[in-house]
Amino acid sequence: MTTTLNIATWNVNSVRARLPLLLTWLKEAKPDVVLLQETKVEDLSFPASYVEELGYNLCVHGQKSYNGVAILSTSPLEDVTCGLVDFESVIDAQGDGAAAKCRYIEAFTAGVRVISVYAPNGQDLDHPRFLMKKAFYQALEARLVHLLQGPDEVIVGGDFNIAPFESDVYDASLWSNRILCSDEERAWFRRLLNRGFYDPLQASVTKDQTNPFTWWDYRTRGFEEDRGLRIDHVLLSPGVAQRVQGAHVDRHTRGWEKPSDHAPVMCVLVAA
């Protein structure tokens, strides 16, 4: 009988380019639920058969070359919702619809409602895409508040494109009030925590005093010199937070050949 429920999130930076690594990691880590981001593939072109052979069900929400989210689960996936309609309609009206799409998918599985999110990067604090990022977080918070009022426990994971604490940055002074680390962005993230969501990886970092980074820049030897950021997160609603056994980053995957620039985050829960 399974005694734990292992929930992971991973920005794979193209599921087709990273397919061999994804399959290797699935066999190695054996997660029960996986939240993927930046799949960068249309739904019909997602390499579904490969993950199905490993015992996973899946739901996908993608487009060609950009964005894209998916959920893999060893349990059935039910009540699937794709997209944040309020966010996408606003951005589409501004003429930037493709950039807004395929950033959100949710489903009920393994006794919880799980959500995979890929938040906009924002580019820079004075860039128009920063307003898109703000709109995304407003819509995300509204959706999560709605779900918290329902019967299901909620787990939301993904690439949030925010390093919420000083300890999440290799050089806090260098990144002070820059994109991903600005006071405004961190306030958006804290609003989710203030709604009752729990950040198990941040709690594990505080306890273990280890670098929590999940992303390292390809261009600057970021991984080799461990100059990273923690921008990938798993957040838990209050009821499921009581079941946490631990959380960690599978950072060794970043050292594999032709890796994603992100590493998976794993959260281990006591099975309900």
Task: For 13-31, give the secondary structure using H, E and C.
Answer: CCCCCCHHHHHHHHHHHCC
- Cα separation, 84 vs 71, in Å, equals 16
- Could you tell me if 182 and 172 are in contact, meaning their C-beta atoms sit under 8 angstroms apart? no
Helices 85-93 and 128-148 sit at what angle, rounded to 10 degrees?
160
Catalytic residue among 32, 118, 199, 261: 118
Report phi then psi at 24, rounded to 5.
-60, -45
Decide if 104 is catalytic. no
245: number of Cβ within 10 Å: 13
Task: For 165-177, give the secondary structure using H, E and C.
Answer: CHHHECCCCCCCC
Pairing, β 33-37 against β 69-73: antiparallel
Catalytic residue among 159, 168, 199, 232: 159
CA-nearest of 175, 245, 149 to 203 is 245
Decide if 159 is catalytic. yes
Q: What are the residue numbers of the active site?
A: 118, 159
